Amino acid sequence: MKERLQKLMARAGLGSRRDNEQIIAAGRVRLNGRVAHLGDKADPLVDKVEVDGRLLELSNNQQIYIKLYKPRGVISSLEDEMGQGRSIVRDLIPQSGHIYPVGRLDKQSEGLMLMTNDGQLTHRLTHPRYAHDKVYEVLLEGQISKDSLDQWREGVILDDRLTAPADIVVVTRSKENTFIRITLREGRKRQIRRIAAEFGHPVLKLVRIEIGPLKLGNLKPGEWRYLNKEEINKLQKSLDFPTKQKKKLKHHYE
């Protein structure tokens, strides 16, 4: 996707956007062989951008971390594999570069997703070996019993094997529905929905609000932002990243 030249230059470490606007205005930038102008946009994967005769390159070490509120009805994939014209999470972030979602939320679920180009962090967040908490707020149909919740907490058989223990807190309960907050340390396909249905209390709404130390915060459906430096450090620390690696990485953050 195309971005304004001054933004690309800032990402490449050539100063602030205001500084780069002055460089562009001075005629020192060429876009695909011609002198660039303020307002020009480029896609670094397609277009050739030169500053003072040198090709602009975004560092391969520059890691991008974005938190997104995935709305209901959007699939957490980089493409619509079924070719049905469905909206995908990548459509919600009009920024260039190869970023991908960490883990998944089914189409009818919503809430926190992490988008990044950091392969090692993605591996540690999704591999069962590196168990981490994911917190969901779930509205169930009807009034689920204490016995069912206790069984759910201890583990139930799903796909011929027992699920890991889950922390479940009842937030509110009425005859019509039960609102719970559930913390999981594993991620099987549609796990919460399938278990709830087995107990006879289908999910009416499911929102993921936390992934490890990362919180949804005040984001609204469809909104996103770059993680700040503190959030990145907390995320890496929670995944036990090697200290040396942390020092080498360059981040794109607020």
The residues assigned a catalytic role are: 106
What pairing do the DSSP bridges indicate for beta strands 110-116 and 203-211?
Answer: parallel
Q: 194 exposed, middle or buried (CB, 10 Å; 0-12, 13-18, 19+)?
A: middle
CB-CB contact of 136 with 184 (8 Å): yes
Q: How many other CB atoms sit within 10 Å of the CB of residue 90?
A: 20
CB-CB contact of 72 with 108 (8 Å): yes
Residue 169 bridge partners (DSSP): 181
User: In angstroms, rounded to a whole number, what is the distance separating the alpha carbons of residues 202 and 196?
Assistant: 5
User: In angstroms, rounded to a whole number, what is the distance separating the alpha carbons of residues 200 and 180?
Assistant: 15
- Residue type (1 letter), 182: I
- 3-class DSSP state of 21: helix
CA distance readout (Å), 93 to 6, 89, 96: 19, 7, 9
CB-CB contact of 197 with 152 (8 Å): no
Residue 116 bridge partners (DSSP): 65, 100
